[in-house]
Amino acid sequence: MKSLKLGLLVRKPRWTLSLRGKLLLLCVVAACIIAGRFGTYPFLALNSPIIADTLIVEGWTPDYLMNAAADEFRRGHYRQLVIVRSVHEPDAEDQRKIDIAAIESMTRMLLLNGVPSESLATVVYPTAERDRTYHTALAAKRWFQEKKASDSFNVATVGPHARRSWLLFRKAFGNTAKMGIVALRDPMYDSKHWWRSSEGVDEVMEESIKYVYVRFFFLWA
């Protein structure tokens, strides 16, 4: 073997998995897949309301979920429901009209579902290019400070967005308020079998990535 004599090849020992090790690795991978499949949605769609006078509804929530928000309003015996939504500046007139129309649509659906008009309030703030949920929380905080409102509330949002919203509201408010979270179930897909529809997969996967970002890399607070 001339190559060995010339020093071009060298033999090195290496570690590799035994049959038992490969079976253990396979079991771990399978367990992770099962945990992700059945545990991801319940983890993200955190539902932990507290007793409070005010229910905050994130303004980007689809108006077809306003019946669920109204149900929560009645269930929790709230005194006030506050919609918090970003609105574009006047120079973006077309988009501003869309934003205002969305607020009006949400309000109309809430009224149709039995929320009294005197219990409804709307908080608007300039649209932010990034970290929109955090800016929503800051706008809500300013409203509470200006109105000298109760320091306890629940936030209602779309299913798997709930844990991220809860985390960002806590970052924005700090220790100045007590807050709970309400996950509104999206009827566009079966939450118990979210992986069976593209809507469920898109929403759960997107929220998983965004939650990791907020949990470990978010630098505002």
Q: How large is the C-alpha radius of gyration of the chain?
A: 24
Residue 78 lies in a domain: yes
Report the pLDDT averaged over residues 34-52. 82
Domain tally, the chain: 1
Give CA–CA dist 54/120, Å, rounded.
10
Residue 2 lies in a domain: no
Residue 99: what pLDDT?
87
Give the chain's mean pLDDT.
85
Residue 207 lies in a domain: no
Residue 30 lies in a domain: no
pLDDT, tens only, 68-80: 999 999 999 999 9
Q: What is the CATH number of the domain that holds 139?
A: 3.40.50.620
Residue 66 lies in a domain: yes
Give CA–CA dist 99/85, Å, rounded.
8
Choice between 218 and 109, residue whose per-residue pLDDT is larger: 109
Lowest mean per-residue pLDDT among 18-22, 171-175, 179-183, 216-220: 18-22
Residue 93: what pLDDT?
80
Lowest mean per-residue pLDDT among 6-20, 75-89, 118-132: 6-20
Residue 101 lies in a domain: yes
Give CA–CA dist 198/204, Å, rounded.
10
Residue 41 lies in a domain: no
pLDDT, tens only, 136-182: 999 999 998 888 777 789 999 999 999 999 999 999 998 888 999 99
Lowest mean per-residue pLDDT among 6-15, 67-76, 125-134: 6-15
- Closest to 40 (Cα-Cα) out of 214, 164, 167, 218: 164
* pLDDT level of residue 9 (50, 70, 90 thresholds): low
**Global confidence as pTM:** 0.82
Give CA–CA dist 49/115, Å, rounded.
19
- Closest to 179 (Cα-Cα) out of 150, 216, 136: 150
- Tokens linked to 189: 């897909």
Report the pLDDT averaged over residues 63-70. 94
Residue 75 lies in a domain: yes
Report the pLDDT averaged over residues 84-89. 89
Residue with tokens 């090195």: 12
Q: What is the domain extent for residue 87?
A: 46-188
Residue 221: what pLDDT?
47
